[in-house]
Amino acid sequence: MSRPESGGALSRMSARDRRALGIVALFLFVIAGYTQLIEPLVFRFDQALEQRDRAEQLSTGYIQKIRMLPRREQRLVELEREMNALEAYFAQDLIAQAAPIESLIDELTAYASISGSQLRQLMPDVETTLDLEGRIHDLELIGDYPALRRYLYLLETSPRRLNLMELEMNPPKEGQSQARLRFMDPTPTPSREATADNAEPLIIGVHGGAADLPVYVAHTGGAFAAAQVAVGLVPAGSPQLSADRLLSGEFDGVVGSLYDLIRYRLAGAPVRVLMPLGQLPLSVSLVSRTDSLIDGLDSLAGKTLGVESLGMAEVSLLQMLYDTGMSRSDIDMVYLDRRAMVRHLRSGLIDAALVSDLDGARLDYLGLRELEGFADNSSEWHSYLIVSTDSLSRFPQRWRAVSQALLDAARGLESQDPEATGLAHAWLRRRNPDATAAALSKTRYVDPAQFTEQLTSDAAFGLDFLQEVLLELGEPVPDTSRSELVDATWLRSMQEVLDEG
| Length of the chain as a residue count | 501
When the pLDDT of each residue in the chain is averaged and rounded to a whole number, the result is: 81
pLDDT confidence of residue 123: 86
pLDDT confidence of residue 271: 93
Q: Are residues 303 and 428 in the same domain?
A: yes
pLDDT confidence of residue 263: 93
Residue 481 belongs to a domain with what CATH number? Answer: 3.40.190.10
Among the candidates 185, 217, 232, a domain finishes at 185
Q: Are residues 283 and 136 in the same domain?
A: no
Q: Are residues 168 and 232 in the same domain?
A: no
pLDDT in tens, 69-128: 777 777 777 777 667 666 666 666 676 666 777 778 888 888 888 888 888 888 887 776
Highest mean pLDDT among 102-106, 374-378, 394-398: 394-398
Residue 249, in any domain of the structure: yes
DSSP conformational letter for 35:
I
Q: What percent of the chain has pLDDT over 90?
A: 14
Residue 392, in any domain of the structure: yes
pLDDT in tens, 147-187: 888 888 888 888 788 888 888 888 888 778 889 999 888 87
Residue 311, in any domain of the structure: yes
Q: Are residues 351 and 225 in the same domain?
A: yes
Q: Do 420 and 221 meet the contact criterion of CB atoms below 8 Å apart? A: yes
Q: Are residues 125 and 206 in the same domain?
A: no
What is the domain extent for residue 381?
202-500
DSSP string, 93-110: -HHHHHSHHHHHHHHHHH
Residue 167, in any domain of the structure: yes
Instruction: Name the 3-class secondary structure at 59.
Output: helix
pTM greater than 0.95 (yes/no)? no
Q: Are residues 104 and 232 in the same domain?
A: no
Q: Are residues 271 and 168 in the same domain?
A: no
Number of other CB atoms surrounding residue 469 within 10 Å: 16
Rounded Cα gap, residues 120 and 103, in angstroms:
17
Strands 202-206 and 231-235, sheet pairing: parallel
Q: Return the minimum-mean-pLDDT range out of 9-18, 29-38, 82-91, 389-398.
A: 82-91
